[in-house]
Amino acid sequence: MPLPLAPIAGIAIKYGSVALATYAITRRVSHARRDQRAEDALDDLQEGFSIRREKDQTSSTARFNRTIRIGANGPGVEIDISAFGRFKIRRL
């Protein structure tokens, strides 16, 4: 019984092109340095979302911090998502 290769070839081409594009992007991205001041500022954020408006800019912060465990004393991971944002408009 012959094996139908047409559907398998289509899937292989699709995932192969995604893998190739991902590889090309990771090769082009430069490595950034870690700024300890920014790390400390992100660690000091309060959990939740806040927004502040001033005359010439709007600033926002967000933090989501959760611990997920498998079982009562099982292995776990901590998820910490923090972000700053600023929207600034200046007339020239």
Query: Tens of pLDDT along the chain (92 residues)?
Result: 677 777 888 888 999 999 999 999 988 888 888 889 999 999 999 999 999 998 888 999 999 999 999 888 889 999 999 999 988 888 88
Burial class (CB in 10 A: 0-12, 13-18, 19+), 45: middle
Does this model's pTM top 0.75? no
Give the C-alpha separation, 40 to 24, whole Å. 32
Domain that includes residue 37, residue range: 5-88
The number of distinct structural domains making up the chain is 1
Report pLDDT for 1.
64
Reading the block at residue 61, the tokens are: 């912060």
Nearest to 65 by CA among 77, 52, 50, 51: 77
Report pLDDT for 8.
84
